[in-house]
């Protein structure tokens, strides 16, 4: 092992992504500011190439490299595919917006690529150290992205807020890691799993360390009570960046949470299950009730995403393979709903620029019926009305919750979904019942239209055949690769 080169074929997608990001950075530097669009297009191609490379090289068998620091398995492949799709879509819908705000710099796609790389490392982390490296690479890229629009106070504020609170959470996470290392003597997930499965109860220090670790991760997925940053950052960041925040990093952080809790601490399930149940219920409640009074659609989506993380965590709270499967299905559906909604928000554009208030959607159904129908599909889907994609996510999550006897969780979840239905309906009401406001200029770029169209079809009542049926198979394949 000493001096030997680790097996690099397993990290080929990551290496490709890193090298491409740096090459694109060089390319941008030499070409100057005007290369932004080209770099962005090339980045999308890099993401697609990474997906092809990844699917070609792995059949989903479990394999570790770098002395067990890095793991590839079906779970990693599945989640990485979601991250790639989310990043590519975020890049697709960003071009026009960035150009309009004169922030179309080549650094933007490069930062997205680097953040994606960070997420890849997080997803494949099999050691608390690689976990931290991935998390920081991702977070640092995201801090910069949040403050992309640096001439606007809101954007700088978002970046700063995200950075300060993110640093705090990283600190807590590191403190937890150090306690775990101190009491267990290892940071390797496989070893932790073996030693903690012993007959005698775990040392209290490990439990405390694990809770700190969970606090850090809960911050990243913006679960209540560590969600305070989310509405401000979502509102202040440029809209395509918000779309990116709401999708890819959430997926990666949820996957990481699953990896840590199921991969390293299955022996402590009694301890972490109660924590997850609490933050899940709290997230569902906050996501439903606080969103009721929002007037800015980006803030509304921030609370909506908090609520959806709560629903997804119900799957983790069950602690079973079917529960993880349901969580994976849920977040995959959540990505399509949320990216579609943000793409639709990017069409809210008038002569004077982009608008963000819910009331600006007034009477959209008379101005632009297809767009109003698409947004209505997203809203009903987010509310979880049957046959739309969002319903299936809730169905699988709560099915497993009831199966393991956590039916109160299902009950609370469904009742909060009725509460949240109110604000989704309010958007539909504004679009369909109210008198028409000024027309949107429709000059939002082809990428946005494409994303809205595709995600709306995927979420529509035919979603079962297009999205859910293949997703269930894939999620089953992915979840079965975790050690139970």
Partner 1 sequence: MFDLTDFPILTILMILPLLGAAVILMIKHQDDAIKNTNIRRVALLTTMATFVLSLLLWIGFDNSTADFQFVESYAWVGQDIKYYVGIDGISLLFVLLTTFLMPIVILSSWESIDKRVAEYMVAFLVLETLMIGVFSALDIFLFYVYFEGGLIPMFLLIGVWGGLRRVYASFKFFLYTLLGSVLMLVAVLYMYIETGTTEIPALMEHNFDPGVQTWLWLAFFASFAVKMPMWPVHTWLPDAHVQAPTGGSVILAGVLLKMGGYGFLRFSLPMFPDASIVFADMVLALSIIAIIYTSFVALVQTDIKKLIAYSSVAHMGFVTIGIFVFNTNGIEGAIFTMLSHGIVSAALFLCVGVVYDRMHTREIARYGGLVSNMKLYAVTFVILSLASIGLPGTGGFIGEVLVLVGAYQYSSWVAFGASFGVILGAAYMLYLVRRIVFGELDKDDVKAMTDLNLREKIIFAPLVAMTLWMGIYPNSFLEPMRTSVANLISSDFSSISEQAKAQPKADAGGH
Task: List residues binding partner 1 (CB under 8 A).
Answer: 365-366, 369, 380, 385-387, 398-399, 402-403, 407, 410-411, 414-415, 417-418, 421-422, 425, 428-429, 432-433, 461, 464, 469, 472
Q: Shortest distance, CB of residue 327 to partner 1, whole angstroms?
A: 17
Nearer to partner 1, 18 or 472 (CB): 472
- Half-sphere exposure for 328 (CA within 13 Å, toward CB): 34
Query: How far apart (Å, rounded) are the C-alpha atoms in residues 290 and 292?
Result: 5
Nearer to partner 1, 164 or 415 (CB): 415
Q: Radius of gyration over alpha carbons of the chain, in Å?
A: 21
Could you give phi then psi for residue 343, rounded to 5 degrees? -60, -40
- Whether 266 and 193 have beta carbons less than 8 Å apart is answered as yes
List CB contacts of 194: < 8 A, sequence separation 6 or more: none
Chain position carrying tokens 């990216």: 339
Q: Which residues pair with 70 in a beta bridge?
A: 65, 125
Q: Shortest distance, CB of residue 339 to partner 1, whole angstroms?
A: 22
Query: How far apart (Å, rounded) are the C-alpha atoms in residues 230 and 356?
Result: 16
Query: How far apart (Å, rounded) are the C-alpha atoms in residues 406 and 408?
Result: 6
Nearer to partner 1, 191 or 425 (CB): 425
Q: Shortest distance, CB of residue 168 to partner 1, whole angstroms?
A: 37
Nearer to partner 1, 41 or 366 (CB): 366
Query: How far apart (Å, rounded) are the C-alpha atoms in residues 460 and 347?
Result: 20
Q: Shortest distance, CB of residue 373 to partner 1, whole angstroms?
A: 10
List CB contacts of 201: < 8 A, sequence separation 6 or more: none
Q: How far is CA 21 from the centre of its chain?
A: 21
Nearer to partner 1, 177 or 410 (CB): 410
Closest by CA to 76, choosing from 95, 105, 51, is 51
Q: Shortest distance, CB of residue 268 to partner 1, whole angstroms?
A: 27
Nearer to partner 1, 74 or 406 (CB): 406
State in Å, rounded, how far the first CA of the chain is from the last one. 29
Nearer to partner 1, 243 or 326 (CB): 326
Nearer to partner 1, 232 or 400 (CB): 400
Nearer to partner 1, 220 or 394 (CB): 394
Q: Shortest distance, CB of residue 369 to partner 1, whole angstroms?
A: 8
Judged on CB neighbours under 10 Å (0-12, 13-18, 19+), 150 is exposed
For 125, the token pair is 């982390």
Q: Which residues pair with 125 in a beta bridge?
A: 70
Query: How far apart (Å, rounded) are the C-alpha atoms in residues 271 and 16?
Result: 39
- Percent of the chain as helix, strand, coil, to the nearest 5: 75, 5, 20
Closest by CA to 287, choosing from 324, 336, 250, is 250
Q: Shortest distance, CB of residue 133 to partner 1, whole angstroms?
A: 39
For 294, the token pair is 């929002």
Q: Shortest distance, CB of residue 281 to partner 1, whole angstroms?
A: 15
Query: How far apart (Å, rounded) are the C-alpha atoms in residues 430 and 6?
Result: 58
Nearer to partner 1, 15 or 425 (CB): 425
Nearer to partner 1, 123 or 458 (CB): 458
Q: Shortest distance, CB of residue 399 to partner 1, whole angstroms?
A: 5
């Amino acid at each position: 092992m000493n001096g030997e080169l680790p097996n690099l074929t397993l990290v080929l997608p990551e290496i490709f992504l890193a090298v491409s990001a740096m090459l694109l950075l060089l390319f941008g530097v030499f070409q100057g500011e005007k290369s932004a669009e080209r770099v962005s297009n090339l980045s999308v191609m890099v993401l697609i190439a990474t997906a092809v490379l990844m699917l070609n090289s792995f059949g989903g068998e479990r394999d570790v490299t770098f002395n067990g620091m890095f793991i590839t398995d079906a779970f990693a492949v599945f989640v990485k595919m979601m991250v790639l799709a989310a990043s590519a879509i975020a890049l697709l819908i960003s071009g026009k917006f960035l150009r309009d705000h004169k922030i179309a710099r080549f650094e933007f796609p490069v930062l997205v690529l680097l953040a994606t790389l960070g997420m890849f490392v997080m997803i494949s982390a099999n050691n608390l150290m690689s976990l931290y490296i991935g998390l920081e690479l991702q977070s640092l890229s995201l801090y910069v992205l949040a403050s992309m629009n640096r001439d606007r106070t809101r954007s700088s504020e978002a970046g700063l807020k995200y950075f300060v609170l993110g640093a705090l959470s990283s600190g807590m996470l590191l403190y937890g890691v150090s306690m775990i290392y101190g009491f267990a003597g290892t940071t390797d997930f496989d070893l932790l799993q073996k030693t903690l499965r012993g007959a005698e109860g775990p040392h209290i220090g490990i439990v405390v360390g694990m809770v700190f670790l969970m606090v850090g991760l809960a911050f990243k997925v913006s679960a209540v009570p560590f969600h305070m940053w989310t509405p401000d950052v979502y509102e202040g960041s440029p809209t395509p960046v918000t779309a990116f925040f709401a999708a890819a990093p959430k997926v990666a952080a949820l996957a990481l949470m699953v990896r840590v809790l199921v991969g390293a601490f299955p022996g402590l399930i009694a301890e972490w299950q109660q924590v997850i149940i609490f933050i899940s219920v709290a997230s569902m409640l906050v996501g439903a009730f606080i969103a009721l009074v929002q007037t800015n659609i980006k803030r509304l989506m921030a609370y909506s995403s908090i609520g959806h993380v709560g629903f997804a965590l119900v799957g983790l709270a069950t602690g079973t393979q079917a529960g993880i499967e349901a969580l994976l299905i849920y977040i995959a559906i959540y990505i399509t709903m949320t990216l579609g909604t943000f793409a639709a928000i990017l069409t809210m554009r008038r002569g004077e620029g982009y608008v963000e208030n819910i009331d600006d959607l007034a009477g959209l159904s008379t101005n632009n019926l297809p767009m109003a129908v698409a947004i209505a599909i997203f809203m009903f889907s987010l509310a979880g009305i049957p046959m739309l994609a969002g319903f299936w996510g809730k169905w699988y999550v709560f099915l497993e919750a009831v199966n393991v006897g956590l039916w109160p969780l299902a009950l609370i979840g469904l009742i909060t979904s009725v509460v949240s239905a109110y604000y989704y309906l309010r958007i539909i009401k504004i679009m369909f019942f109210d008198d028409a406001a000024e027309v949107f200029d429709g000059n939002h770029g082809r990428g946005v239209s494409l994303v809205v169209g595709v995600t709306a079809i995927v979420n529509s009542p035919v979603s079962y055949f297009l999205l859910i049926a293949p997703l269930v198979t894939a999620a089953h394949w992915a979840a079965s690769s975790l050690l139970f």
